Amino acid sequence: MVESDSPFGTAPVSVEPIISEPESSQSVVEEQSTTSTSDPPNPVADTVARPQPVSIGQIIVVQLESLRAYHQAVLETDDPEAIHKMRVTTRRLQSSLDLLQENGDEFRIRKIKKRLRKWRRSLSRVRNYDVFLSLIEQERPARNAAHQRRFELLKSILRDRRARIAQKSRAFLQSAIIDDLAVKLGITLVEPPPDSSIADSMEHTDGQATIEAARGLKIDERKTTIRATERLEQRLGEFQALAAQAHPTTDPDELHQLRIAAKRLRYLLETISEMGFGSAAQALAWLRVLQDRIGEWHDFEAMEQEILSITTRKKFVKAHMAETIQMLQSAAHLQKKKDTLISKMFPIVVPNTVTGASYRLARALRRHSRKLEAGS
């Protein structure tokens, strides 16, 4: 249930077309990856009945509620899935808040985005160790006992490192108060029942309560519409440029930048779609597959570097000569997996559905703006 048909507010604006229509929207979307590092579904889709549009304010409220629940879970349970979802939610919230950012920055969006980045980065190494340990577990069933034993010392070292980093991260996040972040935006989040579990707190408030909470976020429809359309053009252009320049490479920085661009475009398309400006399902599916494949490659690359950081210490090698050889053999095995993933990723050909979805959503934004202008 929503307050009105408008996903923003009431101020009219006219935005000229800035994304040209592609010649064709035909595309073949690859089968979706099942990698364990893929992002969880957008929580907004599970909390607001479709096909009713959702305001950007409601989206931000739901994202803040999700962030609060995952933050609580990280502090109380240290659960790897909660850590992953908290990081993803900070990214999605940043993408939504970005639509409100302007030169005057009355909501202090820049500072809030900076704080979200700090929280996410404090968990990045913990997340890496969770992935490393998961990769080892995936290897174990397919290998014989002798091969499995070579991972035991590595697992022990990774667990110790993870425990130290996680303790520091939780200490840092103790000072993170999500409700204070909401207040800075003019939003008062509804408190979950005092006896509710963390899982229960993920059952968001009803639509009317979300609308009420979102009312505190005073949004200028004119500026937000312009920002959304311009941002869509920018994110699409950045991604297309990086994809066109991409080639089979072992440079993690190049692939990382491409993955970031895919995430930014994907989250923006998700947000605009939730606001009722059209579906981008095929484009989102393709972007998710690409993001997951690059993410899996990055996981192997990061674990390889972690193994090298352990086995290049003279003291460790002297005390664990046989284990060092085994770990280096494991690193060589990871290199083969990376090469296989690279062969699957390249060449990267962006399907017309991605450009077509971006065009359709931008056109819907402009049509909405003209409708408001005509009614002013």
Q: Nearest-5° angle of CA 367, CA 372, CA 376? A: 150
What's this model's pTM, rounded to 2 decimal places? 0.81
Cα dihedral 109/112/116/121 (nearest 10)? 100
**Cβ-based burial of 25 (10 A; exposed 0-12, middle 13-18, buried ≥19):** middle
- Distances from the Cα of 142 to the Cα of 78, 87, 359, angstroms: 28, 31, 46
**Amino acid identity at 367:** R
Q: Answer whether 130's CB lies under 8 Å from 83's CB.
A: yes
> In this predicted structure, what is the pLDDT of residue 287?
97
Tokens 């661009």 locate to 261
**Amino acid identity at 130:** D
**CA 237, 243, 244, 249 torsion-angle sign:** positive
Tokens 């597959």 locate to 289
List, run by run, the mean pLDDT of 10-residue segments along the chain (376 residues). Answer: 37 35 36 46 49 84 94 95 97 94 76 95 96 86 64 90 97 95 89 64 60 76 86 96 84 89 97 94 96 93 93 92 87 88 88 96 90 72
**Amino acid identity at 272:** I
> In this predicted structure, what is the pLDDT of residue 306?
94
Superfamily of domain 40-219: CHAD domain (1.40.20.10)
> In this predicted structure, what is the pLDDT of residue 64?
94
> In this predicted structure, what is the pLDDT of residue 299?
94
Q: Over the stretch 9-31, which tens digit does the pLDDT of each residue have?
A: 333 333 333 343 443 333 333 33
> In this predicted structure, what is the pLDDT of residue 200?
58
Q: Burial letters for 245-267: b for 16+ Cβ neighbours within 10 Å, e otherwise?
A: ebeeeeeeeebeebbbbbbbbbb
> In this predicted structure, what is the pLDDT of residue 11?
34
* Angle in degrees, 0-180, between the axes of helices 145-173 and 281-311, rounded to the nearest 10: 110
Q: In 3D, which of 125, 110, 60 has the Cα closest to residue 267? A: 60
Q: Which long-range contacts (CB under 8 A, 24 or more apart) does 149-158 make?
A: 150/323, 150/326, 150/327, 150/329, 150/330, 151/330, 153/320, 153/323, 153/327, 154/307, 154/310, 154/323, 154/327, 154/330, 157/310, 158/129, 158/132, 158/133, 158/306
Q: In 3D, which of 93, 120, 95, 98 has the Cα closest to residue 110? A: 98
Cα 330 from Cα 62, distance rounded (Å): 43
> In this predicted structure, what is the pLDDT of residue 216?
72
> In this predicted structure, what is the pLDDT of residue 347?
87
> In this predicted structure, what is the pLDDT of residue 104?
67
Q: What are phi and psi of 43, to 5 degrees?
A: -60, -25
Domain boundaries, the chain: 40-219, 220-371
CA atoms within a 13 Å half-sphere pointing along the CA-CB vector of 124: 12
Q: How many CB atoms lie within 10 A of CB 11?
A: 16
> In this predicted structure, what is the pLDDT of residue 140?
65
Q: Which long-range contacts (CB under 8 A, 24 or more apart) does 169-173 make?
A: 169/122, 169/123, 169/125, 169/126, 170/74, 170/75, 170/78, 172/122, 173/71, 173/74, 173/75, 173/119, 173/122, 173/123
